[in-house]
Chains A and B, each alone.
Chain A
């Protein structure tokens, strides 16, 4: 959209000097492409080409035997996709991922909004300390986080169960029990991603003109009403944005279970991306893994489409 607009403006400028025009345009284009080249080259080499290649792979039975001669892989049509439909482990991993998204996304957004609001309008002292504190997990290495969380959740010597014991509750073996493993992963995921949601919401809130709050308070609005009738409506685009990118991110759940549970116990934390990784790089069924990747891509695209459609329309 912007490109034709730019071109239009340029032709308008260039029109009077018609004779020198075409050469200059050509040179200007070349300069433009040269500036864009580093991005374009990297984009096609490392993004567009692999995306296309994996789509092609998903229609083959690409495996160990084809490693030395990739173009010799056997074409199997839609077989990988059909196999996927009848693969109980895939469905299990999809269900686990949906579980993580359905609980994790609203929790992350609600808590992020709550904390951002508190930091924006409530808490005055140690504001920076809190902001840094909530944001730190976002930039901390996931492996370091996993080590600490594994300590916290250790059934015998972990802090969580020790606190529970102090109030007379016998805590479960959090990560080793199929019923509590996913809630544990969700807790860690929400804690880790909270900071990012908070920062974005905070930025959105600070862009809301103070006059609106003044007007609201003159009309007799309390804190809750100011939040409900000023902050929330003004933040709608931000909330939509955060819902979409958090959902997309959470649908690709990988690191948390990978470092914390390895997908267990009893596959209770196996996510779609983990299953894809296992198929692609442990068993080297790269054709099958590519099919999983494309199914996940379609799901992500569909969910994002729905969110845009419904969240945007009621503004």
Chain B
């Protein structure tokens, strides 16, 4: 019979089928069987970067500084830092013969995915740069080594150090920082009869109104329509907080509602545009004078210089965050972490120590204009000489950062989405505050 001769072939085929299925089932079984192992893991939520958190030193033991270092390090750095870090790596290698430092530049857009892949594949670098807002997320993976006690927390800006504390453990060392100042057109202000920077919230509103009414500007100010980094400084300056000392969210406190009311007033009064085209660039608009005020970080110093050309430098300046209860701005930047899988952790920490040495920090500022996270570096003339740079140094002493929780990227996205509803007028400040609080409580700390 024909069917008989076919049988071996088809049998072989079908035998392969169930076997694959079995393997697949076994995989599912493994996952199911180990379901109990993680259940006790939920730790109390991390409020480490909360309002009153003091700079806590790392509890991990100190490493002994080896007399002679040797070995090979792989260091990942993002964006511009990834391109320029080789200069410092070369200097480090020159000082320590026998040490090789390989710098791998990573694109910021790919950074999170690449690090996640590296952790999953156990192919992590020894040292990596990490955005201050990524710390909670990556500390949660369990792949980061705790910082040894050699690093003195008080050497750094306090809020920068705090971005590294996740559930009480210090996982990274601040590398460079950034904060936000008010950039404004002094010539347009003068035309509107204002000759000094706005010191208070009321003065900021008055200035925006005057610039639009009599200064000849199309808008009074340009505020982010959906950007938590621009809203939180107003919350903090009003005495509010994202989380209290117990790690409980405080996003609909009376201080928060007041801050949201103030923030929304710029949009309600048509002082700030409610709809911003995708890919909008503030720099040319600032130079053209249509948007005479905005809040931004140190990178706009060189961007405006470049776009404004000669003679423009007398037409603008920077000012600290206007005061309500305090003048508190946002702190961002990057930290340096060492991975648990690194075979040469002593060398890795020695390299981190080198990068956060005040002298290296000053040299790094000269190379890439990254603001030093180490306070001692700020006495150098290259930083005190430029009044705009010095202004950033002053503001840095009064800054806060987002809480270092694993769920921050999710909560940040939710805050942006609520802010968009607030600035377009779809939600009242009270409703926006309640929505933020509800979202935050639903998302939790991500433990």
A binds B: yes
A70 partner residues in chain B, CB cutoff 8 A: 120
Interface size class of B (residues with CB under 8 A): 35 or more
Which of the segments A118-126, A127-135, A277-285, A300-308 contacts the partner chain?
Answer: A277-285
Distance in Å: Cβ of B118 to nearest Cβ of chain A:
10
A284 adjacent to B38 (CB under 8 Å) = no
Q: Which of A17-72 contact B (CB under 8 A)?
A: 25, 29, 52-53, 56, 59-60, 64-68, 70-72
Known contacts A7-B9, A29-B9, A284-B116; A67/B143 CB under 8 A: yes
Known contacts A56-B28, A150-B278, A176-B275; A73/B142 CB under 8 A: no
A71 partner residues in chain B, CB cutoff 8 A: 27, 30-31, 34
B80 partner residues in chain A, CB cutoff 8 A: none
A177 adjacent to B275 (CB under 8 Å) = yes
Known contacts A52-B24, A173-B277, A266-B421; A75/B142 CB under 8 A: no
- State in angstroms the CA–CA spacing of A260 and B9 once bound together: 53
Distance in Å: Cβ of B133 to nearest Cβ of chain A:
12
**Chain B proximity mask over A248-264: 1 for CB below 8 Å, otherwise 0:** 00000000000011101
Chain A residues touching B, majority SS: helix
Q: Which of A67-84 contact B (CB under 8 A)?
A: 67-68, 70-75
- State in angstroms the CA–CA spacing of A234 and B106 once bound together: 54
Known contacts A56-B27, A67-B116; A75/B278 CB under 8 A: no
Distance in Å: Cβ of A3 to nearest Cβ of chain B:
8
Known contacts A74-B35, A266-B420, A281-B113; A65/B275 CB under 8 A: no
Distance in Å: Cβ of A5 to nearest Cβ of chain B:
10
B38 adjacent to A72 (CB under 8 Å) = yes
Q: Which of A116-163 contact B (CB under 8 A)?
A: 150, 154-156
A68 adjacent to B30 (CB under 8 Å) = no
Is the C-beta of B68 less than 8 angstroms from some C-beta in chain A?
no
A11 adjacent to B410 (CB under 8 Å) = no
Of B32, B35, B122, B424, the residue contacting A266 (CB under 8 A) is: B424
B140 partner residues in chain A, CB cutoff 8 A: 64-65
B34 adjacent to A67 (CB under 8 Å) = no
**Chain B proximity mask over A83-99: 1 for CB below 8 Å, otherwise 0:** 00000000000000000
B142 adjacent to A65 (CB under 8 Å) = yes
| Nearest CB in chain A to that of B41: its residue | A65
- State in angstroms the CA–CA spacing of A177 and B276 once bound together: 10
Of B39, B112, B120, B226, the residue contacting A68 (CB under 8 A) is: B120
A25 partner residues in chain B, CB cutoff 8 A: 8-9
A74 adjacent to B119 (CB under 8 Å) = no
Is the C-beta of A4 less than 8 angstroms from some C-beta in chain B?
yes
| Nearest CB in chain A to that of B142: its residue | A68
Is the C-beta of A101 less than 8 angstroms from some C-beta in chain B?
no
Please count how many residues in chain A sit with their CB below 8 Å of the partner chain's CB atoms.
46
- State in angstroms the CA–CA spacing of A175 and B277 once bound together: 7
| Nearest CB in chain B to that of A173: its residue | B275
B277 adjacent to A68 (CB under 8 Å) = no
A177 partner residues in chain B, CB cutoff 8 A: 275
B413 partner residues in chain A, CB cutoff 8 A: 278, 282-283
Of B5, B34, B38, B226, the residue contacting A11 (CB under 8 A) is: B5
A64 adjacent to B9 (CB under 8 Å) = no
B386 partner residues in chain A, CB cutoff 8 A: none
A68 adjacent to B137 (CB under 8 Å) = no
| Nearest CB in chain A to that of B136: its residue | A64
A15 partner residues in chain B, CB cutoff 8 A: 5
Given contacts A68-B119, A261-B278, A282-B413, 13 further A-B contacts (CB under 8 A): A8-B2, A8-B6, A11-B6, A25-B8, A53-B27, A56-B27, A56-B31, A65-B38, A65-B41, A67-B143, A75-B35, A155-B275, A266-B417
Chain B residues packing against A (C-beta within 8 Å): 2, 5-6, 8-10, 24, 27-28, 30-32, 34-35, 37-39, 41, 112-113, 116, 119-120, 122, 137-138, 140-143, 226, 275-279, 406-407, 409-410, 413, 417, 420-421, 424, 426, 446
Nearest 3 A/B pairs, CB to CB = A75-B35, A176-B275, A283-B410
18 contacts across the A-B interface (CB closer than 8 A):
A4-B6, A8-B2, A8-B6, A15-B5, A52-B24, A65-B41, A67-B116, A68-B142, A72-B34, A176-B277, A176-B278, A265-B420, A265-B424, A266-B421, A281-B113, A282-B413, A283-B413, A284-B116
